[in-house]
Structure 1
Amino acid sequence: MKYKNAVLDDKELQEGLKGINPKFGDFVTRIAGEAWGRPLIDQKTKALITIAVDVVNQDHTGSGNPFAAHVNMALKQGATRAEIEEILLFMCVYAGFNKAAGCFGTLNEILGSQS
């Protein structure tokens, strides 16, 4: 389901953020919701950008891990697995092969392996 605002319109995402910490959830919803409400870049592109940022940050483990949430956000905005994989391949050049490899592994954990 595509949203006009991938943060403010996604109640499941907001509940997940509040599950990390209620104050954190409210804060992120307000601030990220405002950023996601900016009109010049569409929601799908913003979602793919967040995945690219996750590649650079390499924070895919533990409670509060954003990568799975960002993958799911991108899918809800109409991105395909192939587009997400293309972002990861592109990021090999700019973030490093090892970082992208880790993301491919985590993507397979989230969406299942492909043959």
Structure 2
Amino acid sequence: MTCETRLDRGRRMLDRIDGEAGRRVTDALEDIAPDFATYLFEYPFGDIMSRPGLDLREREIATVAALCALGTAENQLKVHIQAALNCGVSREEIVEILMQMSVYAGFPAALNGLMAAKQVFEDAPSGTFD
């Protein structure tokens, strides 16, 4: 009997959600903070994103909204906009999520989120994977 570790579960989940984009982020940490890359696999993806209760699509909707509202995480917002597309959230839904943030996070946050989405949409294939 083999038990999947938090690290293994996190790697599997990150690959499923973010594909190459997620792997590029963790690879970029290897020469400066390899332990942080491990934490990124284990906690957000191995523990939180792997929980029952919400599916990956719903989790990415929440993540896109939160990152947009923060207004200070453009790179992570772009990664999670792509992840949302990968998990079946449509471009139209992403635009609506970001527009919704204008009410709760302000117009600048929503505008910045929409500009990030525009860039992701221009760079991304239109399909999804699962």
User: What is the TM-score normalised by the length of structure 1?
Assistant: 0.80
Following the alignment from structure 2 to structure 1, what is the Cα–Cα distance between the partners of residues 13 and 96? 21
Aligned to 1:50: 63
Q: Which has the larger radius of gyration?
A: 2
Structure 1 runs not aligned, ≥5 long? none
Following the alignment from structure 1 to structure 2, what is the Cα–Cα distance between the partners of residues 54 and 74? 12
Contact 2:22/2:79 (8 A) holds in 1: no
Matched, 1:20 2:25: no
Aligned residues: CA RMSD: 1.9
Contact 1:14/1:25 (8 A) holds in 2: no
Aligned to 2:5: none
Aligned length: 105
Structure 2 runs not aligned, ≥5 long? 1-11, 123-130
- Describe the superposition over 1:61-111 as per-residue Cα deviations: whole angstroms up to 9, x where unpaired: 5xxx20111011101100110010010111111101111011111211221
Q: Give, as a single letter, the amino acid of the residue that structure 1 aligns with 2:14.
A: V
Aligned to 1:7: 14
Cα shift at 1:19: 2.4
Aligned to 2:4: none
Task: Spell out structure 1 runs of 4+ moving beyond 4 A.
Answer: none
Moved more, 5-14 or 22-31: 5-14
- Describe the superposition over 1:16-54 as per-residue Cα deviations: whole angstroms up to 9, x where unpaired: 232231322211111012101111011101001111111
* Structure (1 or 2) with the greater helix fraction: 2
The match for 1:30 among 33, 42, 63 is: 42
Q: Give, as a single letter, the amino acid of the residue that structure 2 aligns with 1:18.
A: T
